[in-house]
Chain A
Amino acid sequence: MDTAVNAEARVRTWHGVLHKVLVANDIRLVTYVPDNVLKPLLADIHGDPFFDAFCVTREEEGLGIISGAWMGGKRGVLLMQTSGFATLPNVLASLCTAFQIPALMIVSERGTLGEFNYGQALVLKTMRPVLDSLALEHHTCTRLDELEFIADRTIKQAVATQAPAALILSPLLTGGKVLKP
């Protein structure tokens, strides 16, 4: 349960800050396809009864679910890694953008700053061009001291402008994932 002490401790970690910002913006529905870097955030979210959080089988499915929930009056977010984002352009274009649905995405960035999997490195090259080609707002979060401001303002802008938006969590923020020797 959420105590004042817990809340205080949370804001000292990247996942704690995101947890706080999601709560403050009434984002209750959390869909995700698992990712190692996101593990502490998923644990925080599953541990807080404020959220309705569950795993989906594909990122497209998660985007469909949070889009439906938004239209029904409940705010949601989709959490995934870079390779998951790469499966989304059709849905982002034909559903979220065309229908003006502020689908919020949080992407843990793989493929850079020590990536060990060439496929991940290549797929990352497609992510920002896709976001830019649809003129979608996206921010790369690299510093803990900026995270709350960027995340909070990105969510508020997405809702106000009825446009999807992505928060990209850089390894500079999260530590990323490195090959264990």
Chain B
Amino acid sequence: MTNSANSAGRATRESNTRPLNRFEITKRMVAKLTQGEAVIGGIGNTNFDLWCSGQRPENFYMLGSMGLAIPIALGVALAQPSRKVIALEGDGSLLMQLGCLSTVAIRAPRNLIIIVMDNGIYQITGAQQTATAASVDLVAVARACGLAASHWAADEADFDALFDAAQERAAPSLIALRIDDQAAVGQTEREPARIRDQFMRGIGAKGNRPVTQSPSNKI
């Protein structure tokens, strides 16, 4: 356990005792979801492993728009402030859309949790190195953007503690994990319209009121 290191802000990317596994951590996190939390999986492996962890109706599996798991999650969080929303994102994807960390910090939604799966590679396109393998510390970047509750998880128990704290926190949190180079254990069924429809119903944004009451009918 290196919680003390985390709370003192001293844990770094390299301080992990060993790389964690994306699928194992995803399953671990999903097992903690009891309040209908929404989960947004990013491109490729993050949403594939989310899919393979069990297809909760509150899960959204993003296909194709690399880098947008956090912005999409922010949108859901703003629309439903009383529901916790979790974004699962890869390091390459976050590096493509770093500006979103500053937007999250400024908006400071109480209900957003960002989980970054950092393998130091663009695993799915052939394992080319990302900048985190060389010099970039995404937790330091997040803190510099103003996301004070940003931490590296040192091991499974540390992840548990950080995630539990994030669930309780009335401010956005970011948890980064150094993970191994494994691909996801399976693949999402790529049916975008169905994924979106099930997600909207899963979080109560559809199917619970008659269409005729839509405000679009008034002007």
Contact = CB atoms under 8 A, between A and B. Distances in A.
Interface of A: 21, 24-26, 29, 52, 54, 56-58, 60-74, 76, 90-91, 93-95, 98-101, 152, 155-156, 159-160
B103 interface: yes
Given A60-B97, A61-B97, A66-B75, A72 B80 contact: yes
Interface stretch (B14-22, B25-33, B160-168, B188-196): B188-196
B102 interface: yes
A98 B190 CA distance: 10
Contacts of A73: 79-80, 200, 203-206
Contacts of A93: 64
A76 B75 CA distance: 9
Contacts of B203: 71-73
A70 B80 CA distance: 10
Interface residues of B, number: 42
A65 B99 contact: no
Contacts of A100: 192-193, 196
Contacts, number: 135
Interface string B122-159: 00000000000000000000000000000000000000
Contacts of B116: none
A160 B216 contact: yes
A29 B76 CA distance: 11
A56 B38 CA distance: 22
A57 B196 contact: no
Nearest to A100: B193
Nearest to A25: B216
B63 A67 contact: no
**Residue of B67, B68, B71, B206 contacting most chain A CB atoms (<10 Å):** B71
Contacts of B35: none
Given A21-B219, A68-B72, A155-B216, 10 more contacts: A24-B219, A64-B74, A64-B75, A68-B74, A70-B79, A72-B79, A73-B200, A74-B80, A90-B65, A99-B195
Question: Is chain B's interface secondary structure helix, strand, loop, or mixed overall?
Answer: helix
9 contacts: A26-B215, A71-B79, A72-B80, A73-B80, A73-B200, A90-B65, A94-B63, A95-B65, A160-B216
Contacts of B216: 25-26, 155-156, 159-160
B40 interface: yes
Contact of A68 (B73, B102, B192, B219): B73
Given A57-B100, A98-B63, A98-B192, A68 B75 contact: yes
Interface in B48-104: 60, 62-65, 67-68, 70-80, 97, 99-100, 102-103
A119 B215 CA distance: 40
A94 B103 contact: no
Contacts of B23: none
Contacts of B214: 159
A131 to B, nearest CB: 18
A95 B76 contact: no
**Residue of B63, B65, B73, B80 contacting most chain A CB atoms (<10 Å):** B65
CB-CB nearest 9 A-B residue pairs: A68-B75, A94-B64, A72-B79, A57-B99, A64-B71, A74-B79, A73-B205, A64-B68, A69-B75
